[in-house]
Amino acid sequence: MSHDRAIVRNWFGMCAFVCPNLVTICDMSELISEDQAMQLAGQRLHFVGIGGCGMSGLARIAAGRGATCTGSDMTDTQVVRQLIADGIPVVLTQTAESVPPDCDMLVISAAIKADHPEVVEANHRNIPILKYAQLLGRLMIGHTGIAIAGTHGKSTTTSMLCHLLIQAELDPSFIVGATCAQIGGGSRVATGDSDLLLAEACEFDRSFHNFHPTHAAILNVEEDHLDIYKNLDDIIDAFHVFAQKLPATGSLLIHHDVRTRIAAGLSCDVQTIGFAPLADWQVLVNGTSVVLKEHGHPVAQWSNPMPGEHMAFNAAVAMVLAHQRGATWDQLVPAIESFRGLDRRMQVLGDIKLQSGTVKLIDDYGHHPTEIDTTLRALARHYRPKRLICVFQPHQHSRTRFLLEQFAASFSAADMVIVPEIYFVRDSEAERQSVSSQDLVERLRKQNIDAMQLDPFEKITEHLAWIARDGDLIVTMGAGPVWQVSHALAKQSTT
């Protein structure tokens, strides 16, 4: 083992430990030098669950910093195949033997538990184990990290910002939790000397507390992940802790409506953005036209690249962050107008022809009541379909149970709602038995919404093909594999 590798391995070995369902690392960033924190050259990293957008991007970033990276996953996807084509070996088994014999560090996604065979093997061999957010946070040390946080809109805003910085030739490195073809997928390594590193900062499991950004944005804060947090106050406190990690030389751009508690006592520069006239940066929306004002003075105007006021707000945040990093408004306006969107965020799959006529198909990742309500209203206003049909797959039983009444109130813009079984991710079996998709359907019907529970996806696709009429808009929504319904329906097009 080289001297540099020994330094990193010994330091991580001293700090890392595993406890039930949690892998963490001591926060010793104040006690280590930048060279020790960032030295990946010559290290061998193995990524468990490498097929995810974030994990695959992190592997690429680590490889770009000189590490030798391998990975494992359970599914052969396009992401996995592209990693292999780019020289990052991936095995489609997850056993003790999947961990390479010369592994220096195991990196795991948030879904990997302490009893996972590769985690058990790493512990047996005293290999340091880090979660995705922990390694990404370490990679920000010594660089200009920009972190986008918030309950909603992180992937879209981060993708927009990446696009703007690329168009302005500011050459960022980034990791986005979704695929955006326009920026090369979900990750990028800077081609030159740029020290910009952009990433989403997710509040689940308080993972964003592992980040070390120089600049950050907080888009919004609402109740979510109530299997982790006690209540909204607990969530607000977590965002405040995240904001406190910003250095005095850094900056925070925060939604004007949530600034009070989160931004209190910060030493960094704090600016607000929102629709309110008192915001430092005010966003004005008139149809598809967006105007951005700085302290009351217009600085930019553009045509909204995606439907809805929430997308105008996301674009405005990206515009301000890019401008603060050196891009001019003259560069940014045509750049934002050229943004073509990202996968599963109001993604237009096209107009398909069925026997009954032409139907517009859209796929969206929305899985929180506010996201659903905002997206459906935006689609209804923008496209004005004869009927808006939503296939919504709830994501996690705990979220569905905690927010059941809010979910029931979020589909008012839809003419029909079809609900498959709840997507089971990481909840307990007891939680799984506590609520069902039929519970949501019954509450929707009480609000006079045409709703039905239907499974499996094949039956939903058949049902949609049978009931669809000319001029309908069908949107599949949810963080699970519900996208399969719209993609299957698209294949039934007669053209």
Q: For the segment 297-333, what is each residue's pLDDT rounded down to a tens digit?
A: 999 999 999 999 999 999 999 999 999 999 999 999 9
Measured at the CA of 100, the angle between CA 96 and CA 106, to 5 degrees, comes to 80
Question: How would residue 179 be classed by pLDDT, with cut points 50, 70 and 90?
Answer: confident
CATH superfamily of 347-490: Mur ligase, C-terminal domain (3.90.190.20)
Looking at the chain, the domain(s) classified CATH 3.40.1190.10 span 143-337
Q: Is the pLDDT of residue 16 over 80?
A: no
Domain boundaries 3-136, corresponding CATH code: 3.40.50.720
pLDDT for residue 492:
82
Question: How would residue 449 be classed by pLDDT, with cut points 50, 70 and 90?
Answer: very high
Looking at the chain, the domain(s) classified CATH 3.90.190.20 span 347-490
Chain centroid, CA 395 distance in Å = 14
Q: Is the pLDDT of residue 30 over 60?
A: no
Token pair listed for 73: 């996953």
Tens digit of pLDDT for each residue in 271-302? 999 999 999 999 999 999 999 999 999 999 99
Of the candidates 420, 417, 412, which has an alpha carbon nearest to the alpha carbon of residue 393?
420
| Mean local confidence (pLDDT), 394-401 | 91
Tokens 């220096």, located at residue:
104
In angstroms, the CA 72 to CA 55 distance is 11
pLDDT for residue 78:
87
pLDDT for residue 38:
53
In angstroms, the CA 420 to CA 441 distance is 10
Residues with Cβ within 8 Å of residue 79, at least 6 apart in sequence: 51, 52, 53, 56
59, HSE (Cβ side, Cα atoms, 13 Å): 32
> Quick check: bond before 172 cis, omega within 30?
no
Reduced to 3 states, what is the DSSP secondary structure of residue 488? helix
The predicted model scores a pTM of 0.85
Residue 155 DSSP symbol: H
Residue 423 DSSP symbol: B
Fold of 143-337: UDP-N-acetylmuramoyl-L-alanine:D-glutamate ligase (3.40.1190)
In angstroms, the CA 301 to CA 258 distance is 25
Looking at the chain, the domain(s) classified CATH 3.40.50.720 span 3-136
In angstroms, the CA 399 to CA 227 distance is 7
In angstroms, the CA 91 to CA 20 distance is 26
Q: Is the pLDDT of residue 425 over 90?
A: no
pLDDT for residue 14:
34
Question: How would residue 34 be classed by pLDDT, with cut points 50, 70 and 90?
Answer: very low
Residue 256 DSSP symbol: G
Burial of 120: CB neighbours in 10 Å, binned 0-12, 13-18, 19+:
middle
pLDDT for residue 495:
66
Greatest mean pLDDT range, 16-30, 36-50, 237-251: 237-251
